[in-house]
Chains A and B, each alone.
Chain A
Amino acid sequence: MRNHSLKANLTGYAFISPFIIGFLAFTLIPMFISLYLSFTSYNLFSPPRWVGLDNFEKMFTGDPKYWNSVKVTLYYVFIGVPLRLTFALFVAMILNTGSKMIGTYRTIYYLPSIIGGSVAVSIMWRNIFSEQGIVNGLLMALGAAPVQWFGDPGAALSMLITLSVWQFGSSMLIFLAGLKNISPEMYEAASVDGAHPVRKFFSITLPLLSPIILFNLIMQTISAFMTFVPAYIISKGEGGPMDGTMLYSLYLFRQAFMFNNMGYASAMAWVMLIFIGVLTLILFKTSKMWVFYESEGGR
């Protein structure tokens, strides 16, 4: 009998082995190798040389460009994500009012996100705001001077943030699903009590939506930290002007694949992983104060 169950288990393992092998070969083992490399100096040509904590020391004390990339990324995340979520919620609420065309609208609004972080959208964004692009064309038609959207160190990052806000579709769809889940009776009851729309929004919609907000917040924050493609495409891989669009992942990429500092890049990746982990944990812990679960009977 025992023998039989072993056989049954073996069959099971055989069937999930594609995943297990893939996971080991392409995720777990590379991760540990990268952890090892983060304590070495490695340029891909000569064997890795153990340097202990040197990479981390350089990162934290000897590399102003590292701190610049941290600053740029925090700015990108902490401005971009709230804006994006607010916008997504706003559009979701409009779409929730029950128009006949809702399917079409949903598709239209979701489109920029399907082509999401792709190269094509970034190139299109570049072209829209290029020197002879449509935006400058409109400005000039109105008699204003053209703006160098991606040439101005102050403006370039804002352009990246606007692009990320514009790709709000996926969070919008999740919000929409959440909004549909709130029972209309709540609103009816509130109307009977004479609540105006703003009151309804803050007393019914927001609390009942808070688990979804938490989910979107965490997912979007993590993906924002890892943003790479738009910054790479728009700054042609250089993070300029004046390192204004040098996001953390772009700087990591430059260290790894342009300067061949694989050890340093691995160390940067691990710091990022730990930082995102801690931030997610904090979000979870503080969520107790503001997330409302109906099933708990509203503690």
Chain B
Amino acid sequence: MRKTIALATMVAILLLITACGNSGGGNASSGAQDGKTLRIAWWGSDARHEYTQKVIDLYKKQNPGVNIDIEYASFDDYWKKLAPQAAANQLPDIMQMDISYISQYAKNGQLEDLKPYIGSKIKLDDVSENVLSTGLIGGTQYGIPTGVNVLGYQYNPELLKKAGINEIPANWTWDDYKKMAMQAKAKGVYFDESMAADIFFNYFLRTKGHSLYNAEGTALGYEDDALFTEFFGTLAELIKEGAVPSQETLSQNKGILEESTVVKGTGIGTWQWSNQFVALQKVADRPMALAPMLGPDMEKGIYMQPSMYWSIASSSKSKDEAAKFIDFWVNNEEANKLIKGERGVPISAKIKESVTPDLTEAEKQVFDFVSEMEPKASPMSPPPPVGSAEVIATLADYVEQINFGQTTAAEAAPKFRADANAILSNNQP
């Protein structure tokens, strides 16, 4: 009898321990003391998981004795997993960071300042200042970009000709754009699928010398509501005129590549980041081209956007080893032949060159486009502040209302500014 009780108690204690162990979260403590075990986390598609694993295997082969634990997930799940790990002070040594989240993690002291490692552990001699500075938050280097993207107009040249336009003129303006959109409409095709509200409004503001957020991230970066009215008024007008699909169609098809007008052959082009070109071209399965953003002052507006960053947790016990891995990622030729610009065009000029012969036609187009834009681009605005997700959702709501004709751009402008500023000030510590 006594034996049974002892056994039962053992089982209960065991259960208790395992229950606690699980909620504690993961394998953080395993062998971290010797500085030779790294935890690395990223988000992405299956293809990305596959080649990242190959890069890690390569690193392990060249650095015997280093052990690397990996964690990966889809974009949404990744952030849901990372936030509790941050709250428990158990972040992975190396993390893939997104521009919309990096401020939050940096400001809360979760990320390591990488400046001391640059030059010694991480060699960045072949990286342009414009690119590297995108990892600065409040003057501190919290992330090393994995690669860069730039905004542009991605279109089907054949359909453009059919609409009676031979090519996108160099240094085109908003007036050219409106004229060409109406011309396309007359020929029965859409010119584009409107512009993602936050990204392109920010671009528009930058060409006018402002930005969506102020430098401190405490409020919006512009005060003149006429800017809002001009930008979103123009977009809504094009929708109303039928040069761009209706908001109903846009809402219905949003995020579904197969339903986009470019793929269906009813639309000439679309506005998006350069890294989205390869996927679009693949699904559309016809020759496509890239054109720069429209102006005036395109150079002031465009910037090299890091596709994503590598950051090191400030709680990491293997920071030197983590920095070495990032260096490997940036500068190792063999590794980059596996990566092939999937995380954006490589930031090192030397690597960019050495990878080029292995690229597909569409990938080459992207590399060329980014190279062409890089010297023209202006420094990026500071990364979106804490609370920006809510601001962007609010902006998207107002734009939807404008495009559905429920309100006007002039009416929405002051409301959006008030809402956004309230959200941003609420998120100040």
- A151 in contact with B251 (CB, 8 Å): yes
Chain A-chain B contacts (Cβ-Cβ < 8 Å), number: 102
CB distance from A164 to the nearest CB of B (A): 20
Which of the residues B86, B87, B250 comes within 8 Å of A151, measured between beta carbons? B250
Contacts of A150 in B (CB 8 A): 251-252
Contacts of B256 in A (CB 8 A): 130
- Bound-state CA distance A11–B429 (Å) is 51
Contacts of A242 in B (CB 8 A): 397, 400-401, 404, 406
Chain B count of residues within 8 A CB distance of the other chain: 48
Assess A149 versus B80: contact at CB under 8 Å? Given A17-B15, A44-B86, A258-B389.
no
CB distance from B342 to the nearest CB of A (A): 23
Is B9 among interface residues, defined by CB-CB distance under 8 A? Answer: yes
Which of the residues A21, A46, A238, A254 comes within 8 Å of B15, measured between beta carbons? A21
Is B418 among interface residues, defined by CB-CB distance under 8 A? Answer: no
- A148 in contact with B15 (CB, 8 Å): no
- A259 in contact with B249 (CB, 8 Å): no
User: Which residue of chain A has the shortest Cβ distance to B18 in the bound complex?
Assistant: A21
- B248 in contact with A151 (CB, 8 Å): yes
CB distance from A265 to the nearest CB of B (A): 13
- A46 in contact with B108 (CB, 8 Å): yes
Is B214 among interface residues, defined by CB-CB distance under 8 A? Answer: no
Assess A240 versus B400: contact at CB under 8 Å? Given A10-B5, A45-B104, A151-B251.
yes
Q: B-side binding surface: helix, strand, loop or mixed? A: helix
- B393 in contact with A11 (CB, 8 Å): no
| B8, B248, B250 pick with most chain A CB within 10 angstroms | B248
- A45 in contact with B259 (CB, 8 Å): no
User: Which residue of chain B has the shortest Cβ distance to A47 in the bound complex?
Assistant: B87
CB distance from B413 to the nearest CB of A (A): 18
Chain A count of residues within 8 A CB distance of the other chain: 37
- B84 in contact with A240 (CB, 8 Å): no
- Bound-state CA distance A214–B239 (Å) is 50
- A132 in contact with B389 (CB, 8 Å): no
- B15 in contact with A11 (CB, 8 Å): no
- Bound-state CA distance A249–B67 (Å) is 42
- B83 in contact with A44 (CB, 8 Å): yes
Contacts of B393 in A (CB 8 A): 238, 254, 258-259
- B8 in contact with A132 (CB, 8 Å): no
- Bound-state CA distance A132–B256 (Å) is 12
- B259 in contact with A131 (CB, 8 Å): yes
- Bound-state CA distance A16–B369 (Å) is 65
- Bound-state CA distance A133–B250 (Å) is 16
Is A199 among interface residues, defined by CB-CB distance under 8 A? Answer: no
Is A18 among interface residues, defined by CB-CB distance under 8 A? Answer: yes
Assess A10 versus B9: contact at CB under 8 Å? Given A241-B248, A242-B401.
yes
Interface 0/1 of B9-25, CB less than 8 Å to A = 10110011001000100
Is B390 among interface residues, defined by CB-CB distance under 8 A? Answer: yes
User: Which residue of chain B has the shortest Cβ distance to A152 in the bound complex?
Assistant: B248
Residues 260 to 297 of chain A near chain B (Cβ within 8 Å) = 260-261
Is A7 among interface residues, defined by CB-CB distance under 8 A? Answer: yes
Assess A131 versus B249: contact at CB under 8 Å? Given A10-B8, A25-B19.
yes
- Bound-state CA distance A130–B258 (Å) is 11
- B108 in contact with A148 (CB, 8 Å): no
User: Which residue of chain A has the shortest Cβ distance to B11 in the bound complex?
Assistant: A14
Contacts of B253 in A (CB 8 A): 130-131, 151
Residues 81 to 137 of chain B near chain A (Cβ within 8 Å) = 83-84, 86-87, 104-105, 108, 110
- B87 in contact with A45 (CB, 8 Å): yes
Is B54 among interface residues, defined by CB-CB distance under 8 A? Answer: no
Contacts of B350 in A (CB 8 A): none
- B247 in contact with A11 (CB, 8 Å): no
Contacts of A130 in B (CB 8 A): 252-253, 256, 259
CB distance from A247 to the nearest CB of B (A): 16
Assess A257 versus B80: contact at CB under 8 Å? Given A131-B259, A240-B400.
yes
A-B contact pairs, 17 of them (CB 8 A): A7-B1, A10-B9, A13-B12, A17-B11, A43-B386, A130-B253, A148-B246, A148-B248, A148-B249, A148-B251, A237-B76, A241-B400, A243-B397, A257-B79, A257-B80, A259-B387, A259-B389
Q: CB within 8 Å of B: which residues of A?
A: 7, 10-11, 13-15, 17-18, 21-22, 25, 43-46, 130-132, 148-153, 236-238, 240-243, 254, 257-261
Besides the known contacts A259-B390, A259-B393, 5 further A-B residue pairs in the complex with CB atoms under 8 A apart: A132-B259, A148-B248, A242-B397, A260-B104, A260-B389
